[in-house]
Structure 1
Amino acid sequence: MAIYRYLVEAGPAGAFAGTVAEALGVPSTTLSFHFKELSNADLVEGQQQGTYIRYTAKLDTIQAVVGYLTETCCGGNPEMCAPVAVPLPMPAVKRKASRQQ
């Protein structure tokens, strides 16, 4: 979740894998595993740029998931799920000073 949130906050420019690893304090092997799973779920997209990979969040996929969950809430009667869910504040992600790769 922290990886995906980081990429959402990075916006359309995305972020290099090394920058994400450094910012979140995640070992690169662990990060590679999570990027692979996020890619398999169609939540992120990686683009090779030289020897580095820049990842971006695929917001259309998560919007489709949220839409599906909203539509199917309470057996297809989302009006029964009141009050409307309000997003909870996410804990702040500690970020180290990032360096460009």
Structure 2
Amino acid sequence: MTSSPDTQPIVVGIDPDPTQWLALAWAVDEATRRRLPLRLAHAREAPPSKYRTAELTPAWETWDEALRTLGTRALEQVEAFVRDRRPEVEVSVLLVEGDAASVLRGQA
């Protein structure tokens, strides 16, 4: 299924836990019904800047890399779920730093 370039996708925030994919399944089915693309978004929440200090830089970089790896893996699993459920749905993924509510609001 292809959509026109100006078509807004259905945006869904994803959780790495497969037991939390009920909203994802609904979004996939809704994208199929409406013939719309689907955007899967995962937000990596960063700690407040007051916790980022020179002394914690190595720890922050390690933590940030772990969050990026977890987010990438989660998006890959969710994308596979979508393609298995509805292969005709056009799907894109987005991994971004920020709080989930702000990321989803910005994408919607």
Please report the TM-score for the alignment, with normalisation by the length of structure 1. Answer: 0.32
Higher relative contact order (CA 8 A, sep 6+): 2
Please report the TM-score for the alignment, with normalisation by the length of structure 2. Answer: 0.30
